[in-house]
Amino acid sequence: MRPYSLVLVSALVLGCRIDATEPRAVAFHPQSAVAAASAASNVVRFRNEFVFLIEDRETDLFAIAGLPDHPKEVVECGGTEPLHFGIADIQWVGMWPDVVIALAKGADYNLDVYQFSSFAGVCASDPIAHGVGRVRYNENDVFRTSGRTDTYGFWMAGPVSLIGGGTANLLGHAVFQILPDAGGVPREIVSRVTLSG
């Protein structure tokens, strides 16, 4: 899967208070089960922490899905709470070394929206909107074994309360591609964050 690693995302969204060059002890608690619909089944389902962010320079918004309820109170921000992200249901379909397709979905996910131009990390910045909604991540070639273009995307949506008062509907989506001859460098197709309503 292409979501930023927990170490890099943690450093970015927390304002680089932690040293991203040091390994971070991440509690990995997958709940795995192989779906055996037939003898040739190739579906793996598990649950794990999952966080991602979408930036939109055009609307000057930056949305993060999966932060804890009180991100400024986590240890990495000088608080006392351990850092835990939202839990997603993840499914891989396929068999390595062939193509493996990924889908991750989550409900009741914390959605936080920040002003992109003034964002200094969640330890220092306050969100302009917060709510709870749904998230999705999909990818058509997790391990890039097909030799073809790999496309992956993130999506988040839900009602949010604006810090200045009122409510809005958050919709964020981003799509990236890695072309076979691009050396593994992703190319952004779209990255949009909107508050409407």
Question: What does the pLDDT look like over 19-51, one tens digit per residue?
Answer: 444 444 444 444 444 444 455 568 999 999 999
The total number of structural domains that make up the chain: 1
- Specify the residue for token string 């390595």: 96
- Inside any domain, residue 185: yes
pTM, rounded to two decimals:
0.81
pLDDT of 170 > 50? The answer is yes
pLDDT at 42: 87
Q: Rounded to an integer, what distance in angstroms lies between the CA atom of residue 76 and that of residue 167?
A: 30
pLDDT at position 85 is 96
Instruction: Flag whether 14 is in a domain.
Output: yes
In a domain, 29, yes or no: no
In this structure, is residue 104 part of a structural domain?
yes
* Residue numbers of the domain that contains 63: 6-23+43-196
Is residue 37 in a domain? no
Cβ proximity of 24 and 131 under 8 Å: no
Query: What percent of the chain stands above pLDDT 90?
Result: 70
Residue 142 CB contacts under 8 Å (≥ 6 apart), including other chains: 1, 92, 94, 100, 101, 102
**48-94 pLDDT, tens digit each:** 999 999 999 999 999 999 999 999 999 999 999 999 999 999 999 99
- pLDDT of 13 over the 80 cut: no
For 144, what's the count of Cα atoms within 13 Å in the CB-facing half-sphere? 16
